[in-house]
Amino acid sequence: MLKYTQVVTLVLIGVGWAFGAQAVCDVEQEINNMRGVVLDAAKKGWVSIVDERRVGWEIDKVEQDWEDYLVDKTGGKSSRLIDGQYNRYLKKLEALESRLERLDDKDELASNFTGGLFEIINTLKGCRDDSGGGEYLDDDVVPSALSPAELGMVMWSEGSGLDVVTKLKEGSWQSSHLAVATRGFSSISGVLDDDGYFHVVTSVSNQQGNDSLVHYTNKSGGWVGSALPVAGYRNAIAVDRKGKLHILASSSAPAMNVSYSTNASGVWITEEVATNGTIGTGGLVVDSRGYAHMAYADNNTNEIKYVVRDRWGRWETSVVDTFIGDVPYIGIALDRRRDPYLAYARQESGELVLATENRGSWDKVVVLKGGIYYANNFVRVAVSTSRVPHIMTYDGNNDRKGLLHVYPGTEGWVFDIVHGNITAPYRPSMDFGADDKLHAFYYDNDHFEYAVWSSGSWVLQILSGKITEVLDRGFFWGEMDIR
């Protein structure tokens, strides 16, 4: 068993928080290296702990209104909290306690942590540390996601359910809780329409194991959910310029049928794409003409296929590549000329491949060799306005382990590590915004993170506990879209 020595220490990170006039102090000296909670001017706290079993900091952002939220073991609560707030904060405290209990040397660690937790709050109120650290979302995130946005993210965890975060044009963030936690959720995808409203599609499994799709949108001013006449275990969603939805879905095993659905005509229609296929959440895109471009793995023929459906319902299919072993999850993107780019990993060789169409045939180039993590790896591809492709994937190599960003350099393909030491990021999302900067959204073992790539480097923002509870471990998925 590991021995912890002063592993619970305080780090005060002020980036993005609305601190008033405060003194700069040496937090380590003031608190005697006992780090535990960060409290900002709005009396919101974030808990941080160091886990010696892992490289660097493990920061669990648990947003708490500490002065209003004092819960005893009998379930008592402050009268200043409404029931809805109390229930959400209670989940966070329970998750924090569960997190501490899972650590080795539990008694010493928990004692050091809880014993000094509330004692240091008053000291922190007038103290600010300039030692640096990660960048956080502003503390005054509005708890509502009803306004048109330029960027949207939907995330799911067993501890919280579905949560949505949107970034407005003026730069402020909004968040809202969309649906309660349930193990029935098995896949989510999200997209913004041209008016800036967010659309979420999630598959829900009933007790018989059947999967149905539910569509949520805030287009009418509040979140409205409706069942879709479409079945699907995995799904991908796109929206055309008229605001019509396009959905690619695959049913669960053993059938694994791939279908395409749209309400472009005013009513929902569903057409079969393949009788035994696999898709990723990045496997669908709609161009400016309303044509749907799809990529999937055909399990009958072990082929990667690219399919185009025009707005009159005509289909065109081409074979991109073959695969050996488990099916790949394929990412697809279009450039400004509507030319397709497909990215995927090869299980047998651990290679990362980019395929581009060339006069009816497909050119394939290996952009990264060896070590590409294969299982559940949802590869993403995005193309800049200058038609330069960028790929995001997970790599299991020890010298480059983590979430990778791969792109063409002056002398061939190069990569940078968006986030290292991730055991398995679930479904990263990546796309270029109107600013032609690359935006990414992913889960890093403990929490959701949002990053922007500009001038050759990544600027990270960690989505705090205010937006979603992430201490209750389980299955996590997230999806991002940007206009």
pLDDT at 206: 57
* Domain-located, residue 357: yes
Nearest to 376 by CA among 272, 254, 259, 476: 476
Could you tell me if 67 and 197 lie in one domain? Answer: no
Backbone angles phi, psi at 453, to 5 degrees: -100, 120
pLDDT at 120: 35
Please give the tally of structural domains in the chain: 2
Distances, alpha carbon 340 to alpha carbons 161, 332, 334, in Å: 34, 7, 5
* Domain-located, residue 14: no
Single out the residue in 133, 165, 182 at which a domain terminates: 133
Helices 83-101, 106-117: crossing angle, 10 deg rounding: 140
**Integer Cα distance of 213 and 232 in angstroms:** 6
What tokens were used for 303? Answer: 């082929």
Could you tell me if 162 and 110 lie in one domain? Answer: no
Per-residue pLDDT of the chain (483 residues), as tens digits, is 222 222 222 222 222 222 222 333 333 333 332 233 333 334 344 343 333 333 332 333 333 333 333 333 233 333 333 334 434 444 444 444 444 444 334 444 334 444 333 333 333 333 333 333 223 333 334 445 567 888 888 877 665 677 788 888 777 777 777 765 555 566 788 899 988 889 988 877 654 455 778 888 888 877 888 888 877 777 889 999 999 999 998 876 666 788 899 999 999 999 989 887 777 667 899 999 999 999 988 888 999 999 999 989 999 999 999 988 777 788 999 999 999 999 998 878 888 999 999 888 999 999 988 767 654 567 899 999 999 999 998 877 767 778 889 999 998 999 988 887 766 556 788 999 888 899 998 877 666 788 899 888 888 876 644 333 333 334 456 778 887
For 110, the domain range is 23-133
**Integer Cα distance of 156 and 184 in angstroms:** 11
pLDDT at 185: 61
Could you tell me if 228 and 103 lie in one domain? Answer: no
pLDDT at 255: 64
Backbone angles phi, psi at 249, to 5 degrees: -140, 150
Answer for the pair 421, 402: CB distance below 8 angstroms, yes or no.
Answer: yes
* Domain-located, residue 406: yes
- Name the residue with tokens 């998750």: 95
**Strands of 185-192's sheet in order across:** 185-192, 198-205, 211-217, 224-227
Answer for the pair 406, 367: CB distance below 8 angstroms, yes or no.
Answer: yes
* Domain-located, residue 362: yes
For residue 204, the cross-strand partners are 185, 212
pLDDT at 327: 72
Single out the residue in 133, 168, 191 at which a domain terminates: 133
Could you tell me if 315 and 459 lie in one domain? Answer: yes
Single out the residue in 106, 133, 160 at which a domain terminates: 133
Buried b (16+ CB within 10 A) or exposed e, 411-425: eebebeebbeebeeb
What tokens were used for 240? Answer: 């055309």
Could you tell me if 175 and 111 lie in one domain? Answer: no
Answer for the pair 345, 393: CB distance below 8 angstroms, yes or no.
Answer: yes
**Integer Cα distance of 246 and 109 in angstroms:** 51
Q: What angle do CA 312, 313, 316 make, to 5 degrees?
A: 115
User: How many Cβ atoms from other residues are within 10 Å of residue 147's Cβ?
Assistant: 16
Distances, alpha carbon 23 to alpha carbons 124, 223, 297, 441, in Å: 10, 43, 58, 34
Could you tell me if 388 and 281 lie in one domain? Answer: yes
**Integer Cα distance of 145 and 223 in angstroms:** 9
Backbone angles phi, psi at 388, to 5 degrees: -100, 120
DSSP 8-state code for residue 129: -
Could you tell me if 106 and 207 lie in one domain? Answer: no
Could you tell me if 213 and 344 lie in one domain? Answer: yes
Could you tell me if 222 and 272 lie in one domain? Answer: yes
**Integer Cα distance of 180 and 93 in angstroms:** 18
Answer for the pair 183, 158: CB distance below 8 angstroms, yes or no.
Answer: yes
Distances, alpha carbon 346 to alpha carbons 162, 297, 418, in Å: 32, 12, 21
- Name the residue with tokens 């010696």: 52
CATH number, residue 174: 2.130.10.10
DSSP 8-state code for residue 241: T
Could you tell me if 36 and 92 lie in one domain? Answer: yes
* Domain-located, residue 7: no
* Domain-located, residue 16: no
Count of alpha carbons within 13 angstroms of residue 400, beta-carbon side? 16
Could you tell me if 95 and 183 lie in one domain? Answer: no
* Domain-located, residue 138: no
What tokens were used for 108? Answer: 């010493």
* Domain-located, residue 15: no
Could you tell me if 405 and 300 lie in one domain? Answer: yes
> Sign of the C-alpha dihedral, residues 78, 143, 157, 204?
positive
pLDDT at 158: 60
